[in-house]
Amino acid sequence: MANTPFDTTEPSQVKGLNGYTVDPIFTVGDKIGNYVPPGILDGIGAFSLNDTTVRVLVVNEVGAADGYKYTLKNGTQLPGARVNYFDVDKRTLQIVDAGLAHDTIINRKGEVVDAAADLENAGIQRFCSAALFEANQFGAGIGLADRIFFSGEETSNGTQFALDTQTNTLYAVPAFGRASWENVTELNTSRTDKVAFLIGDDSNNAPLYLYVGDKKAGGFLERNGLAQGKLFVWVADDPANATDAIEANPSQFKGSGNSTNGQFVEISYYDPTKANTTGYDSQGFATQTKQNELATAVNAFRFSRPEDIATNPSDGTQAVLASTGITAGPDVWGTTYKIDVDFSQLLSTTATVPTAEDTAPFLLPTGFTQTEIVDRNKANLDPQFAATFGNWDMVALDPTNRYIYIPMEVGQGAGLARYDTQTGDFVSALTGQAALPYTTNPTVWDKNNDDFGPFDPAVYTPYGTVITAEERTNGRLFEWLNPLMAAGDTANVVWRSNIPAVSHEGLKFDASGTLYFIDESNTGSIYKFVPKTAGDLSVGQSFVLKVTAFTGIASENWDSATNTATTRTGAATWVAITDANGVKTTTADPFDFSSTTTGGRAAADEVGGTPYGRPEDLEIIGDILYVATTSENAVYGINLKTNEVKLFASRSTIDGGTALAAGTNLNNPDNLASDAAGNLYIIEDNGPGDIWKASDSNKDGVAESITRWASLGVPGSEPTGLISTNNPNEFIVAIQHPTSGNDALWKITTAPEITAKIDILYDGNDAGKQDFGMRSPDNLDWADNGKIYLQEDRALGADIWGATSKQEASIYVLDPAAANPADSLTKIAQVDRSAVPSGQTDSSPTDIGNWETSGILDVSSLFGNAPGTQFVFDVQAHSIRSGTIITATNIDGNGDGTKTRQENLVEGGQLSFLTAPNANLIQDTQFFAGTPNADTIVAKQTPGFGGIKDVVFSGAGNDEVDSAAAGALASNNIIDGGSGNDTVFLANGDRAFGSADNDTFFGDEANNFRASGGAGNDLFFLGNGTGGRALGGDGNDTFEIGLGGGHTLSGGAGADQFWIVFGELTKATNTILDFQIGTDVIGISGAASLGITTANLTLTQVGADTAVIFGGQTLATLTGIQASALSVANPNQFVLV
């Protein structure tokens, strides 16, 4: 670039206070090479680009139609907000390059933007604050998979964007939801399969959002957990205090030093089935207005105007939030909060599963509780409860949750009972008699004179009845028509014989009243029954599922050679086996309840129903019908709108506890359940029996992960019948067939997945602080030294903000670890309105607060300095709108003949460094003096010598000075060895002087240095360095050149040796300024191995100089020497060894 390194010449628009200093490096209107960054600079991120360069990313808060147009890689031109990069030299703190940081944009639909219309605002609308996060910043595999720079649109219904710094691709992130984006910050979930981000929504009275994403295989968004996740809002409801008042806004939670506990509650912000309906966009994401409604419904706390947010670098579960304040509300001057998030701990994969049947039979996550509801021993005391009623299976609840309906899965004497949770009484609707026949003729069936097969499950229907069915060959389905009857009344139960004979287990109704059921067999199929009249199960049409691409044999086991060679997923159809009146349409009779051949199974096989491996339970969530297939150790999902079948979960699904495939940890999935948030639970028929919670955040019908939620280890038992109650935090589950025979129902009460305590660090509304303390906190950074740095942004009218204090916007530091953090607040910098750049004017010089600092970041470690000593920040000079704001680019964007600020740089501002008092930056010049004795002076090890732009005088004695030890940044030092035999290790750009005596200089990797030996016999080992200048001075000096070359050499007085090849050919030609014929010699070391001989080493006259050439390469140029006066065969002139 033509004018780099670059450093602005304009005065600083901010003055440092309390010992802090400010150094601007760019002013809006400056041209860096061919690039002119627009104004309204805002959010900042930075990373180490290479050993000597930090890339600083800065966004522009310009409107979608503002700013000159930039060009993407595909030629698309766009106005609006963008991401700029400034490459800053770590040694000089000057800009060495600048430009547009992204050349490709992917929109919300996942499409490459090739026209302005591909973006919702025809450009990006007002990027605000920003943040950059490194990959795996919390540990191996924990956090993002890539380095990502985030910034979002600060506008209603805005979109968050993520920049892949490796590919320069900017991705829209619809999974984050909608917001008027200020910033996001990453939190540590301590899990390798999840990422989490707190979200600052810069809207009045907005909630605090938390996004938790699922990492999965795939593209950039998928592998970073940004394509699928859940959205939560913080509710000030202490989960440990049932009587805790739920604070609604800052009128109820305020004041520096106060704190409160709460929890993050999930909101259902994404539903693809609601796409393009009121409150949802074309992909099914809630609009910002709808999100607010969902937040209100769960009593989310409303912050005044939540803006910037940052994570504690020492504790990834803590963050700081600045809420700017609003005129019309309880928080006018703004409040700064510390948020301490607790992610629930997963069940340990090595934890011992309890066997305490009577007290705590389940292994549960921390905070969960378990309470027995009733057991078989107690039930046996009730005369309505038959002695044969064991093996309690999948239960049902009535809408009030007063009654629990329990099916008995026993071979003889099975039944269906109702338990009254208020009275503790039982009512039996069906009671099988082992001595009675199993009736196969519905016309003579009598519920009081029958032996029933094992019942499983009980289901409360949408019509206020309860159904149950037999898990046996030619199983029957029964309906209890009056399940809410008073105790003592007669149960009215009918056999619904128009539903085919199968080995029943799962039964589920969809919203239209269609009943889905399965045939539990290794050749089992999936069925549906569509009532002719809604709510009437006596007449209807039955169908079986057939996968279109399935070419196997329906009557064979699912894992037969024929069936495993084909597919059982993909597009499917429902094939009728009866007509609408229930009359069979197959040769086989689906209603054959008498033969050994299951009627419904035979009919399904006849029409090619697809077989699965022992399908058992069913669950419906949204449009997906889930099917547990026990023999396959898998769960399938069937989209009831599209009839597409997918493998939802299997042993290949990621175990959230290990981030590895679940493998044999998933055993015999049997029952299924769901909760109010739409999560699916998979219950094993195993010992111990695990209950898994599945995550399908993007609702694509394939689980991203399954996580062990509970485990039952009671001998001989399995968990069954998990069902959620009306309380979203409660579940009921049965302990079936324990060795003791004491089946039981237990209630599990969950703890919130994510809780958070919030402390108020600073409340600007406190007495004495209003307009005289910190006002309208906006951008901030939690720096590596543990302090929080905050910037003011006038969020109130000029008649309030600064009206009394007369103070311009400032930067503050606060110590969150102080006994009283609010008292630690210190002002460290303030806007200086007198610093108007040349060629620009301030249109409102008396408007206090019109200029603001915006975006601040601790970059100390990136530049090699101590934490909290060096920051980069920017200035938004809103009232600078003319002069070079227009003429620096001078574009007439709309062709109307008038060049406006909106078509060019929009507004003024600056990018600057802020340095702490007594920082001792390695870039600062330090002076070091040695002693009269022999000194060893090593950069970064010897106090006072950093190895960058330092001055060292080692003094008398045989000294060793090593500036190269400072590493890649070592450069531009001045070293005077003084008297004595000194050894100097050179760094890039060093100037070294040996003075008297015999000195040694090592420039092995140094470039562009200057070394002067002075008097004495000096040695110069230049190795791989390039572009140096070595001066021998008086004495017999030796120069050894390695692979680098390109040096300028001067031997001075004395007999000097110039070893222009030392073991390997130099890459660049060396120039010898004062070769003395007959006194000095040219040396070639390693001549034999390189093939250099006096026959092929040639001398060529080039003007007044002689070129020493081998193999077409000029090894050295001897200035002012005639080639005819030299001979490579003369050992007094050339030495080949």
Instruction: Write the pLDDT tens digit of every residue in 271-310.
Output: 998 999 999 999 999 999 999 999 999 999 999 999 999 9
Neighbours of 655 (CB within 10 A): 21
Dihedral (CA of 53, 54, 55, 60) sign? negative
Partners of 141 in beta bridges: none
Compute the average pLDDT of residues 106-116: 98
Beta pairing class for 1113-1118 and 1105-1110? antiparallel
Listed in sequence order, the DSSP H helices in 857-1000 are 884-887
The domain at 383-497 falls in which architecture? Beta Barrel (2.40)
Give the tokens for residue 616: 């058992």
Percent pLDDT > 70 in the chain is: 100
Residue-averaged pLDDT of the chain: 96
Percent pLDDT > 90 in the chain is: 93
Which pLDDT score is estimated for 80? Answer: 98
What length is written for the chain? Answer: 1137
Q: Is the pLDDT of residue 716 over 90?
A: yes
Which pLDDT score is estimated for 18? Answer: 98
Instruction: Give me the amino acid identity at 370.
Output: Q
Q: In angstroms, rounded to a whole number, what is the distance separating the alpha carbons of residues 612 and 624?
A: 17
Q: In angstroms, rounded to a whole number, what is the distance separating the alpha carbons of residues 454 and 461?
A: 20
Give the tokens for residue 56: 């600083």
What would the pLDDT profile of 435-475 be if each residue is shown by its tens digit? 888 899 999 999 988 999 999 999 999 999 999 999 999 99
Which pLDDT score is estimated for 3? Answer: 64
Q: Is the pLDDT of residue 1083 over 60?
A: yes
Which pLDDT score is estimated for 407? Answer: 99
Compute the average pLDDT of residues 943-947: 92
Q: Is 655 left (phi over 0), alpha (psi -120 to 50) or beta?
A: beta
Q: Is the pLDDT of residue 2 over 60?
A: no
Q: Is the pLDDT of residue 356 over 90?
A: no
Starting from the edge strand earliest in sequence, which strands make up the sheet with 426-431, in order? 396-397, 403-407, 415-420, 426-431
The secondary structure element, H or E, covering residue 603 is helix 599-606
**Residue 407 burial class via C-beta count within 10 angstroms: exposed 0-12, middle 13-18, buried 19 and up:** buried
Which pLDDT score is estimated for 861? Answer: 97
Give the tokens for residue 886: 């227009």
Neighbours of 1125 (CB within 10 A): 12
Q: In angstroms, rounded to a whole number, what is the distance separating the alpha carbons of residues 87 and 340?
A: 35
Sequential DSSP letters for 1005-1036:
S-BS-EEE--SS--EEEEET-BS-EEE--SS-
What class is the 14-344+758-915 domain?
mainly beta
Biggest alpha carbon distance in the chain? 130
Q: In angstroms, rounded to a whole number, what is the distance separating the alpha carbons of residues 670 and 411?
A: 19
Which pLDDT score is estimated for 353? Answer: 87
Q: In angstroms, rounded to a whole number, what is the distance separating the alpha carbons of residues 682 and 567?
A: 23
Find, among 424, 425, 551, the residue nearest to 488 by Cα.
425
Least confident of 299-308, 391-400, 921-930, 973-982: 921-930
Neighbours of 740 (CB within 10 A): 17
CB 434 within 8 A of CB 388: yes
CB 975 within 8 A of CB 952: yes
> Helix, strand or coil for residue 562?
helix
CB 183 within 8 A of CB 308: yes
CB 73 within 8 A of CB 104: yes
Q: In angstroms, rounded to a whole number, what is the distance separating the alpha carbons of residues 113 and 830?
A: 41
Q: In angstroms, rounded to a whole number, what is the distance separating the alpha carbons of residues 955 and 476?
A: 103
Half-sphere exposure of 663 (CA within 13 A, CB side): 6
CB 498 within 8 A of CB 539: yes
What would the pLDDT profile of 21-66 be if each residue is shown by its tens digit? 999 999 999 999 999 999 999 999 999 999 999 999 999 999 999 9
Residues 6+ apart with CB under 8 A from 50: none
Residues 6+ apart with CB under 8 A from 262: 234, 235, 236, 237, 238, 301, 755, 756, 757, 758
Q: In angstroms, rounded to a whole number, what is the distance separating the alpha carbons of residues 285 and 268?
A: 9
- Token look-up 């004179």 returns 449
Which pLDDT score is estimated for 344? Answer: 80
What would the pLDDT profile of 817-836 be if each residue is shown by its tens digit? 999 999 999 999 999 999 99
Compute the average pLDDT of residues 834-853: 97
Q: In angstroms, rounded to a whole number, what is the distance separating the alpha carbons of residues 366 and 343?
A: 11
Q: Is the pLDDT of residue 246 over 60?
A: yes
- Token look-up 């803006």 returns 307
Give the tokens for residue 996: 């008297």
CB 344 within 8 A of CB 367: yes
What would the pLDDT profile of 146-205 be if each residue is shown by its tens digit? 999 999 999 999 999 999 999 999 999 999 999 999 999 999 999 999 999 999 999 999
Return the HEC string of 60-94: ECCCCCCCCCEECCCCCEECECCEEEEEEECCCCC
**What Rg value do the Cα atoms of the chain yield, rounded?**
39
What would the pLDDT profile of 720-768 be if each residue is shown by its tens digit? 999 999 998 899 999 999 999 999 999 999 988 899 999 999 999 999 9
Find, among 4, 80, 346, 302, the residue nearest to 190 by Cα.
346
CB 971 within 8 A of CB 948: yes
* 19 to 33, 828, 1058: CA distances (angstroms): 34, 8, 53
Instruction: Give me the amino acid identity at 1066.
Output: T
Q: In angstroms, rounded to a whole number, what is the distance separating the alpha carbons of residues 406 and 394?
A: 7
The secondary structure element, H or E, covering residue 406 is strand 403-407
CB 1099 within 8 A of CB 1123: yes
Q: Is the pLDDT higher at 699 or at 219?
A: 219
Residues 6+ apart with CB under 8 A from 906: 38, 39, 40, 60, 62, 66, 67, 881, 885
Q: In angstroms, rounded to a whole number, what is the distance separating the alpha carbons of residues 590 and 611?
A: 16
Return the HEC string of 136-192: CCCCCCCCCCCCEEEEEECCCCECEEEEECCCCEEEECHHHCCECEEEEEEECCCCC
Q: Is the pLDDT of residue 701 over 70?
A: yes
Q: In angstroms, rounded to a whole number, what is the distance separating the alpha carbons of residues 165 and 85?
A: 11
Q: In angstroms, rounded to a whole number, what is the distance separating the alpha carbons of residues 525 and 193?
A: 34
Q: In angstroms, rounded to a whole number, what is the distance separating the alpha carbons of residues 876 and 808?
A: 13
Instruction: Give me the amino acid identity at 590.
Output: P
> Helix, strand or coil for residue 995?
coil
Neighbours of 845 (CB within 10 A): 12
